[in-house]
Structure 1
Amino acid sequence: MDDLIAFVRTRIDESWQIAAMCEPGHWFSPHTTDDPKSFARPGVYGQHYIEVPDCEQMRIAVTMDVRCEWHILHNAPARVLTDLAAKQDRLKYLAHVLGGSWVDVGERAAAEHLLRLEAAAYDWHEDYRPEWRP
């Protein structure tokens, strides 16, 4: 199970690095605050999203429709980092249970199954092994 724990930990770390590189000021809405469909309006996620003229992503974001904008804003770096922190905590707990010598057989089996479910989120990765499937 150590190799599976290492695999999941590496995927979480990779995602953490990507999300941590994003600066909040580069998350913006392609709409104006006057646009009734804009998620840049005050109150949505309790934040303001501003346009950054020198940001290369501007051209990409402007071409997206409101449905794509909602998905992008929903996956803002701060939210992603919070989710990744929860994954790290779950992984730490599962590694603790699986590494313990005084663990009930049922608890160990449940921890193994939960670890496989965590890893299944990365089944697209080239390092994912078929034997890890839940």
Structure 2
Amino acid sequence: MDDLIAFLRARIAEAEEIAGRCEPGHWFSSRRADDPVSFARPGVYGRAYMEVRDCEQPQVAATVNVRCERHIVHNDPARVLNDLAAKRERLTYLAHVVYGSWVDVGEHAQAEHLLRLEAAAYGWHSDYRPEWRD
């Protein structure tokens, strides 16, 4: 379990570092509510992408699908950081249960199962181990 918990802590730290570098107010939905196909900002209309400073992938695609753009805007850095803080607290609690001598076998097994479920979200990562799958 030590490796699994360390893996989860590292993934949370990576995501916090990425979201923490974003500056609020420097990105937003480019669509107007009255015309979801047009771009509202001057200089954006007709461009295939917008440059994003200090980003490993410096182009953000402009899409004609409003649902995709809403998804991107919905996942703003502040919201992501709040979600990651909750994940970190959940991980701390589950690790405490796994290593606690006062818990019964059922609680211990349930905590291990929940940790494996948390890790499954990162099954794509090169450090993810197949034995962590339930």
Structure 2: gaps (5+ residues): 44-49, 53-57
**SS of residue in 1 equivalent to 2:10:** helix
**Superposed, which structure 2 residues align to 1:47-126 within 5 Å?**
56-57=51-52, 60-61=60-61, 63-65=62-64, 66-126=66-126
Q: Which amino acid aligns with 2:51?
A: E
Q: State whether residues 29 and 70 of structure 2, in contact with CA within 8 Å, keep that contact through their aligned partners in structure 1.
A: no
4+ runs of 1 displaced by more than 3 Å? 50-53, 57-61
TM-score, with normalisation over the residues of structure 1? 0.80
Tell me, in whole angstroms, the C-alpha distance in 2 between the residues paired with 1:109 and 1:8. Answer: 18
Contact 1:29–1:51 (CA under 8 A) maintained in structure 2: no
- In 2, distance between residues paired with 1:4 and 1:89? 16
Q: Distance in 1 between matches of 2:42 and 2:80?
A: 21
Give the structure with the larger strand fraction: 2
What is the alpha-carbon distance in structure 1 between the residues aligned to residue 34 and residue 88 of structure 2? 38
After TM superposition, list the pairs within 5 Å mapping 1:12-23 onto structure 2. Answer: 12-23=12-23
Root-mean-square deviation (CA, aligned residues, Å) is: 2.3
In the alignment, what sits opposite 1:36?
Answer: 34
Percent identity for Structure 1 against Structure 2: 66
Q: Tell me the number of residue pairs that the alignment of Structure 1 and Structure 2 aligns.
A: 119
What are the ranges of 5 or more consecutive residues in structure 1 without an aligned counterpart?
A: 39-49
